[in-house]
Structure 1
Amino acid sequence: MAGGIAAPPHPARVRSPALPTGPRPLARAAALGRLLHPRSIAIIGASERAGSFGERTQRNLAGYAGRLHLVNSRYQRLGDQPCHAAIAALPEVPDLVVCAAPMEAVEGVVRDCVEAGVGAAILYAAGFAETGRPERVALQARIAAMAREGGVRLIGPNCIGMLDYASGATISFAAVPRPAAPPDRPAIGIVSQSGNLGFALAQGVERGVAIGRVLAFGNSADLDVADGVALLAEDPGCAAIACVFEGMAEPRRLVEAAEIAWAADKPLAVFKLATGEQGAAAALSHTGSLAGSDAAYRAAFERAGVVMVEQFDALLETAAFLAKAPPCRAPGVAVVSTSGGAAIMAADKAEAHGVTLPQPGEAAQAVLAARIPEFGSSRNPVDITAQVLNDPDSLRACAEALCADPAYGAVILPNGYAYEFATPRFALLGELAAAHGKAAAVVWLTEWLEGPGARAAEANPQVALFRSMDRCFAALAAWQARAERRATQGAAAPDPATRLAPPEAAARAAALLDAAGPTLTEREAKSVLAAYGVPVVEERLAADAEAAVAAAASLGYPVALKVESPDIPHKTEAGVIRLGLADAAAVRAAHAAVLANAARAAPGARINGVLVQPMVPQGIEIVVGARRDPLFGPMVVVGLGGILVELLRDSATALAPVGEAEARAMLRRLKGYRLLRGFRGLPPVDEAALAAIIRRVGELAADQRERIAEIDVNPLICAGSRILAVDGLIVRG
């Protein structure tokens, strides 16, 4: 029984992991009504002591519309409310219990919840699995198992609480951000592993951001961020989801939740922490979270239609924009500015993010030319100049002309100076955008962050407010990409019926892999690739110099020589490759040289012979590979290849297998994509053929996920429709 308890310590930064095991189905809103819409709440550890977690929680629930019960055996009354000795003594079974008890009492509280038939419990206390101490890991697991078997859903432990502004169920021991009024329209839902960061975002309500719910999960012994995303996806009061997370042991649950959000057309913006090694180590010690590969998460989120943001301070702005913006009607964006400098800044950022600023159509151009002074600019980005002070109606005329132009899906108004005269412009922009079904944004460039008009712009249901031109155009690009994806390919995985590899490929490749050693030789690797239809260069294995000369004569000069050894996977670094050999003498000399280098680079290495290959004519070098991610499984990687692959670090990653649209999208994401369109006299690369090779490598990686740890096809030499793999590496595992 829980009575006579003191306030727990503040949830602390923690030290090492506690990872749940086994797949868990996602929580769905229909089954969690007692958590999401509690008719009654009981605070375990209620207290009269000012500043205690129990006292703060009670104070934060002052506006709660349901029935509130207090539990602590030390008191009969707290203020004007009765206080009960235990859960069993309450006049009703509460839907939700808030446990403000210390770590030592939590197991007993959860047991009482199970026995009473409570629906859900929020556990504040820290000191569980996040400490890394085996007995605390076991304690958390025991509590979670008890709750799961008893039908009690848990948030926490080591959590800050949850907020529901619509019902007043603002449950936390911390200071709760307060909006001027509950949301009057579908609003942003926030999901965060970190309670502090979740509440940091929630403070957006103080400046007019419409936020409906905040869910923070702490150690996630039961419910976690994936469940939170799924719940908000099914919440009619949620218009868009902002998610902060570090990592999780079952990341595919989060991908599944993202797919639920996609199916509901509920925009999901994610900011992922722990993208570097030090951040991953900190995540492990914060909530016991396995950060995972940043590239793998990005690939999974890309497939699920998630909008990734690169900066924490972009997350709420992006989610607010996606919540307010209508469907994208056109890819063009119009900028109407009273400052030439702000207009130039907009043009720069639009170009940086690939957002087009097309010129106005004939009708709009006529209005602009008539209303803008000669020292302004009627070209997009439009500069109507400070003359708007003398002719206020010019802004309405110009903005309406741009909103009516079918080339534009969004209209942007930079605001460089905060003053009362400018405030009505934001309502005007919202009115015009709504009338024409366009998105609208105000970019707040002034350093008076809360100056006149800021709250009005933020609270306007048709206008998004950005405090950075860069973040504005990043959000516009994401909105447009999301719209294009919904219109074309959706978020589904590739259809198995569209496989390119022949039916016998999997069995043939499996036999080749099973017969090979831990690291396949180049020849063995290319045999596996060829089984899946990847075009590979012709070659001969020569046992000695004269056999190499004979092979070269048969294949035709010039040729390349490579030592074949399972012990020398990286041949360039070992100096065991010679290229462009034009005659027999050159082949003999190269044969002696590469064998000598092999002996120096890897003494005792097994040498099968020397591969002789015809030289492939010049082309763009691409690398296509795959690796098995410990959390997501096989991933496909494509990038600019050759010896500069690690230096350039220009690559795109996707979950294997990939469909045609996804393979083409990977190519387009490369910074060097323009090279594929024709470069220095080379013909444009056959993008369809290259995408097909990417798909075939993805099918290989997916089919052989239990046998292959890594594939590296580097390079593929591409010129027009001629695309050949001239080297390959496969590592089993």
Structure 2
Amino acid sequence: MIPDHSALSAGPAAILAPRPVYRRADLLRLLEPESIAIVGASSRAGSFGERTARNLARFAGRLHLVNPRYDRLGDQPCHSSIAALPEVPDMVVAATPMEACEGVVRDCVAAGVGALVLYAAGFAETGKPERVALQRRLVAMAREGGVRLVGPNCIGLADYARGAEISFVAIPRPPAPPTRPAIGIISQSGNLGFALAQAVESGTQVRRVLTCGNSGDVDVADFVAALSEDPGCSAIALLFEGMADPTRLIEAAEIAWRHDKPVIVHKLGTGAQGAEAAMSHTGSLAGSEVVYRAAFERAGMVPCENFEGLMELASFLGKAPPPRATGVAVVSTSGGAAIMAADRAEARGVELPQPGPQAQAVLAARVPEFGSARNPCDVTAQVLNDPGSLRDCLGALFEDAAYGAVVLPNGFAYDVATPRFRLMGELAARHGKPGCVVWTTQWLEGPGAREAEGEEHIALFRSMDRCMTAIAAWQARAARRQAGTIVRTRLAPAAAKDAAARLLDQATGPVLTEREAKAVLSAYGIPVVQEVLAEDAEAAMAAAEQAGYPVVLKVESPALPHKTEAGVIRLSLPDAKAVRAAFAEIMANAVRAAPGAPINGVLVQPMVPAGIEIVVGARLDPLFGPTVLVGLGGILVELLRDSVVALAPIGHDEAHAMLGRLKGAKLLSGFRNLPAVDLDQLAGIVQRVSELAADHGDRIAEIDVNPVICAGVRLVAVDGLIALRGAERPPHG
């Protein structure tokens, strides 16, 4: 069994110190070696050295063997050491035990080798302090000597164009080298990386497979940056587990964006670490998975929900030109498949508009009356007797300006399908639009599948849902590119940062009281409800008279930030008698919920009329820094879990986009008898909270503004929580 502990590489041994990502020029001797030496070459069948040499039989460069026990291996000379080689190799592959790796690194540095791949396991992934220290020592030595180190605990790499298939496993091998720019696969897990590479057996064009194991030096971020600048790479399929500093991956993804190189990422390990320790609703909603997704979106990466669809999505985005229209046409020989396409298109937000007059005339003339001469178009099984009808219908829909792509479900695997795919590929190339074949048959590798995948202008999907998801991602990516660079203009007042800093300095504890939190929010221009602190019932009644009935009473105690759970809030109090009774109940409940805790008194606030309740918050993510969140709020916030997260700060357009992505977004545009919410004003609140979080990321751990009550143009925050860094989680009552 091959050990694969690369998920542990995000621990303290991952890297020695922060650094910018390596670029293609930095990794050229690793990615484009002219010469490779195998240290630990062997004649023993099945040994890592023997397997590696066998895999490199097609290598276009010069291969050297190193092992002091042999003078020759087969028909090749074998050298006693790296120093004894006739040239300095660009790359060394160490097929040696862990104990020999330090000497190999030292010899590579001394000789001026460009890159080193370490297969051996048993380093930092074991968690043993001495092994962690050994890995750090090897990486430090390699970096200081200018040797780019891949691994340890690495299965290897493959460059199919040059036959540089560097691994000790049986590498999936395409029948021929790629003939056009193709997919680059990057994976921390060698096992899963080469599992993805087996797509070459089905006709998928793959240029490279790059795995990095423990990521001691070279990691996935470096590989992404390097492939972004590689003209032989059409798209990057990234299988990602974790990093000590994932902001480097975002740096690499931004390089890919500048080069218009799609990066399709499937994230493993999506548990919400740290959410259990969150103090606020914001913290419980903004777990690691959603923050990673927000970071990927910020950098222009395309998330892939499932491992099984990663290569399909990468192949499609690598082949497809920019969309010429947002509409998609579906042509099917099956009415059921046409309905399936319509269902999944609607679920994924893909438009299926009806054809224009010219295309409609062709469909009406060529589709039998028991078919469907519309979109989706059911040409029926009559195409078996009249193949020209499929050609004419496909041609008419490809030509129609309303459509940016055409989808063809394929229900049976048989040889007659291959000419259809060839026809579709020709039409796609002629019109500059991608064709999508959905392989609905369960004979997944049946006749026609390889031919469909091999077509340069056709993408093959084995799921209708994955097809429509891919089209939606393609359109969204193109829309973002067309929008250009995002310009973020600050909205909060210029003096807000300093004013808030002074208020934070004056805070009475690690969790600000509601009054203290609202003062900070007000400094950023966020509208908050006014209040008076009353220390006894008489003062509460006087404040209520001043505010005007009905009123709200809430306890003020730094130990009770979650007031609803503790029973220390009373709403819609109509008169002085009700205020007196509520004051007594609240104080008693507060003492019971937090015995011995300081209680400052009771806040008296005017009762804000009903409206849509929104939560706006922020949280300091341990990996990415300040994040901002917006969602449907109130007491059901964690039950509904309808929220969107972004890295802070954000601009006004980004805040608008976050609101539009809420499942309950329609509530904001006017629902039944509720007025439409002023979305500009609400987006401004979200933006201002993001600026507050970004300005004070060194001090603020969490912000929770819940709820913001929205009714037309009246938006007001009626509660607020700010927790400082280092604050212990307070009791919930």
Scaled by the length of structure 2, the TM-score of the pair is 0.95
Alpha-carbon shift at residue 681 of structure 1 (Å): 0.8
Alpha-carbon shift at residue 22 of structure 1 (Å): 2.6
Relative to structure 1, the CA distance from residue 195 to residue 703 in structure 2 (aligned partners, 3 Å threshold; closer, same or farther) is: same
Out of 405, 414, 422, the position equivalent to 2:400 is 405
Deviations 1:510-553 (A, max 9, x none): 11111111010111100000000111112111121121112111
Task: Supply the distance in 2 between the matched residues of 1:719 and 1:390 (Cα, whole angstroms).
Answer: 62
* Paired position in structure 2 for 1:90: 85
Equivalent runs, 1:349-428 vs 2, <5 Å: 349-428=344-423
Deviations 1:170-196 (A, max 9, x none): 100000111011001000000000000
* Paired position in structure 2 for 1:621: 613
- 8 Å CA contact 1:11–1:125 kept in 2: the answer is no
Equivalent runs, 1:155-234 vs 2, <5 Å: 155-234=150-229
- 8 Å CA contact 1:14–1:131 kept in 2: the answer is no
- 8 Å CA contact 2:553–2:571 kept in 1: the answer is yes
Alpha-carbon shift at residue 48 of structure 1 (Å): 0.4
Matched, 1:341 2:330: no
Task: Supply the distance in 1 between the matched residues of 2:31 and 2:3 (Cα, whole angstroms).
Answer: 23
For 1:188, the aligned partner's letter is I
Deviations 1:480-539 (A, max 9, x none): 11011111144x5x53xx111111101110111111110101111000000001111121
* Paired position in structure 1 for 2:719: 727
Out of 124, 131, 134, the position equivalent to 1:136 is 131
For 1:506, the aligned partner's letter is K
Relative to structure 1, the CA distance from residue 464 to residue 223 in structure 2 (aligned partners, 3 Å threshold; closer, same or farther) is: same
* Paired position in structure 1 for 2:479: 484
Task: Supply the distance in 2 between the matched residues of 1:618 and 1:126 (Cα, whole angstroms).
Answer: 62
Deviations 1:660-699 (A, max 9, x none): 2211121122111111111121111111111111000000
Matched, 1:469 2:467: no
For 1:662, the aligned partner's letter is E
Out of 288, 309, 315, the position equivalent to 2:310 is 315
* Paired position in structure 1 for 2:576: 584
- 8 Å CA contact 2:16–2:136 kept in 1: the answer is no
Alpha-carbon shift at residue 13 of structure 1 (Å): 4.2
* Paired position in structure 2 for 1:502: 493
For 1:684, the aligned partner's letter is A
- 8 Å CA contact 2:655–2:683 kept in 1: the answer is yes
- 8 Å CA contact 2:352–2:376 kept in 1: the answer is yes
Relative to structure 1, the CA distance from residue 60 to residue 273 in structure 2 (aligned partners, 3 Å threshold; closer, same or farther) is: same
Matched, 1:68 2:63: yes
Deviations 1:31-85 (A, max 9, x none): 2221111111000000000000000000000000100000000100000000000
* Paired position in structure 1 for 2:597: 605
- 8 Å CA contact 1:10–1:125 kept in 2: the answer is no
SS at match of 2:395: helix
SS at match of 2:368: coil
Task: Supply the distance in 1 between the matched residues of 2:204 and 2:347 (Cα, whole angstroms).
Answer: 27
* Paired position in structure 2 for 1:661: 653
Equivalent runs, 1:485-634 vs 2, <5 Å: 485-490=480-485, 492=486, 495=488, 498-516=489-507, 517-634=509-626
Out of 260, 270, 273, the position equivalent to 2:268 is 273
Task: Supply the distance in 1 between the matched residues of 2:6 and 2:128 (Cα, whole angstroms).
Answer: 11
Relative to structure 1, the CA distance from residue 186 to residue 342 in structure 2 (aligned partners, 3 Å threshold; closer, same or farther) is: same
- 8 Å CA contact 1:545–1:588 kept in 2: the answer is yes
Task: Supply the distance in 2 between the matched residues of 1:485 and 1:33 (Cα, whole angstroms).
Answer: 31
* Paired position in structure 2 for 1:26: 21
Task: Supply the distance in 2 between the matched residues of 1:428 and 1:247 (Cα, whole angstroms).
Answer: 44
* Paired position in structure 1 for 2:427: 432
Task: Supply the distance in 1 between the matched residues of 2:422 and 2:572 (Cα, whole angstroms).
Answer: 69
Matched, 1:119 2:114: yes
Matched, 1:150 2:145: yes
Task: Supply the distance in 1 between the matched residues of 2:533 and 2:16 (Cα, whole angstroms).
Answer: 48
- 8 Å CA contact 2:272–2:288 kept in 1: the answer is no
For 2:501, the aligned partner's letter is A
Deviations 1:214-267 (A, max 9, x none): 100000000000001001100000000000010000100000100000110001
* Paired position in structure 2 for 1:46: 41
Alpha-carbon shift at residue 277 of structure 1 (Å): 6.0
For 2:331, the aligned partner's letter is V
Gaps of 5+ in 1: 1-8, 281-291
SS at match of 1:254: helix
Scaled by the length of structure 1, the TM-score of the pair is 0.95
- 8 Å CA contact 1:273–1:279 kept in 2: the answer is no
SS at match of 2:416: helix
Task: Supply the distance in 2 between the matched residues of 1:167 and 1:116 (Cα, whole angstroms).
Answer: 25
Percent identity among equivalent residues?
72
Task: Supply the distance in 2 between the matched residues of 1:617 and 1:369 (Cα, whole angstroms).
Answer: 57
* Paired position in structure 2 for 1:288: none
Alpha-carbon shift at residue 20 of structure 1 (Å): 2.2
- 8 Å CA contact 1:233–1:261 kept in 2: the answer is yes
Gaps of 5+ in 2: 276-286, 726-733
